[in-house]
Structure 1
């Protein structure tokens, strides 16, 4: 996904479980053609998926990128996976932008958060 150099650095909040995460870990090729525009479009598009909760991004100095998408339920994740424009971006990613990637999908059973200055962690199940 896109770089967020100007955005405040805060993680997606802890939601009441259960919910789902899609963890996309990738190493990119040197080809940058169209990547930033497509990434920005995917971020815009996923926000319209009912049940989309948010997204976190991280990138190591060595080039490993991690994007975690949070979804209220399996149906929301399926809607995103099935989106025609997202599917086209996936195909282009395999053809041009990714040296390798993994996708892990998991059901979150426990979740909590901490923010300095708050009295206690946000409640969670489990």
Structure 2
């Protein structure tokens, strides 16, 4: 197993609204050379944007991918949208990696979360 799959699975925490969510939904092509490396680079790069709050990813067995990026304000989202390396990755995505995609940007007005409390494990009875 890769390190990524062994990481704990948890959604991005709920933040105090308002903030922004950029929902990027994709269907990829068969040609994916360089995609994983570029995606990893973009995940590192976005973390340097002041106001970046986190990112959630999901992939369906049928190939629909969803990435949601969360940003404290419109300025943070604009900085990410106009970043030169991100723009280059977008162009490569259109040319090579994506069959189709949509981008929805929304202002989050309500946010809350839930985490189940963990119960201590008792020793197994023999």
Q: Residue 121 of structure 1 corresponds to which residue in structure 2?
A: none
Q: What CA RMSD, in Å, does the superposition of the two structures yield over aligned residues? A: 1.0
Aligned match of 1:45: 45
Measure the CA separation in 2 of the matches of 1:85 and 1:29: 21
Partner residue, 2:8: 8
For residues 24-39 of structure 1, what are the structure 2 equivalents within 5 Å? Answer: 24-39=24-39
Moved over 2 A (4+): none
Q: Which has the larger radius of gyration?
A: 2
Q: Secondary structure at the match of 1:5?
A: helix
Structure 2 residues not aligned, in runs of 5+: 119-126
**C-alpha displacement of 1:8:** 1.1
Q: TM-score, normalised by structure 2?
A: 0.89
Structure 1 length as normaliser, TM-score? 0.89
- Identify the range of structure 1 (27-36 vs 4-13) with the bigger mean alpha-carbon deviation: 4-13
Q: Distance in 2 between matches of 1:64 and 1:29?
A: 11
Secondary structure in 1 matching 2:38: helix
- Partners of 1:75 and 1:5 lie apart in 2 by 32
Q: Matches of 1:25 and 1:8 in 2, distance apart?
A: 23
Structure 1 gap ranges (5+): 119-126
